[in-house]
Structure 1
Amino acid sequence: MKSLLSILKISVPDKIYIKDPETSELGKRIIENSILLIYEIGFESFTFKKLGKKIGSNESSIYRYFESKHKLLLYLSSWYWAWLEYQLVIETFSISNHHEKLNKAIRVVTRTVEEDSNFSHINENLLYRIIVKENSKSFLTKEVDNDNKEGYFEIYKRLISRLEEMIIAVKPSYLFPLSLASTIIEGGLHQHFLNEHFPSITNSQNGKTPTNFFINLVENTLK
């Protein structure tokens, strides 16, 4: 089934971009090198001028694809969530036992990401590390409500809904399946961030991973 990914196109809400970067070599270079540059210097220091210099193109050519660096970050985060959703669906579709299915889902959404050769212009490992550090900047803005109405976060919300359905399948009477699902998704990123930058305030080290923590948390919560 993993070979299925090689023929799938990751779909991002089309209102995020002006021109789909997947439709041209320049667009793919913009995405590939924006990941490399954001990972290298951070989102705050990232500019289209610096990206243009990196890819050997005019800054104006990037604006033909994205109206702002915020929209580019929204594109990258949406692409990541869509890619993660594919992983979740493919790795859980054949599991019939509800508990095993949920445990597998937790592993998928909280594990450290490795590069996927099916998408040669995107380094998923670096993109994942950007998501851990920068994802909150895509929605902690004054425009978040309008961005939400425009559908910019639909993939992220859909992924949480898939996890919610698995939680309900395990325990239909549980009152907070959405809250638990969103806590797993966001908490996984946060625990990985703490492990890298504030290891003294997390147990996610010495062989104990965020995945271990969330499986333990969910199993005890849904008893």
Structure 2
Amino acid sequence: LLDPSFQFVGGNLLRDIISNISAVMEVKSSLGTIVAAPTAGSCGVVPGTVLTVAKSLNAEREIVLRALFVAGLIGIFIAFDSTFSAELAGCQAECGSGSGMAAGALAYLMCGDLRQILNSAAMALQSLIGLVCDPVAGRVEVPCLGKNILAGHNALACANMALAGFDPVILLSETIQAMDEAGRMLPAGLRCTTGAGLANTDTSRQIGEVLLEKGCKSCLN
């Protein structure tokens, strides 16, 4: 973290989730090896959240592997009825999907039953429907890091809610379909084209011009 001495409100778990998601995103941005689960732009959510919570719970390796398997199954459900592509459905398809996957995994780690696991994923997805993709200067960095951290904390909140008995009302299958519908209705400028939102600010364009001058030809779409 930028300031290791800073005392986070919310405790060490929230701090560690921020730190670990940031670490994964930093590896991605420096062209290191990451697991794009569900995408490179949302790669920090699942490992940065699930592994951090697993460590705090002293979960055994086999349990952690099963939790990651649960995350993958949630991802399969999303891929079957929707998309992971921000170009098609905005950031809800990336960080939103990652949040749903992580939430299901966390519910499993917390000894939730099947209903609670699915409810956790549903609530996480519902909370991020409509999330747009507007990367500054066309780079998957700002506001992508913040959205990864938001998705991670959302996953933890929704897992807690599910195990506490909160009712998502709309089940996971319908939530995925609703997310897909909403995402495809987003204006093209808010679907990873740098045409609107933060990507269309003066500062974003200035950053893009500087990066182009430095030889980064892929910075502006």
TM (norm. structure 2) is 0.25
Report which of the two structures shows the higher radius of gyration computed on alpha carbons. Answer: 1
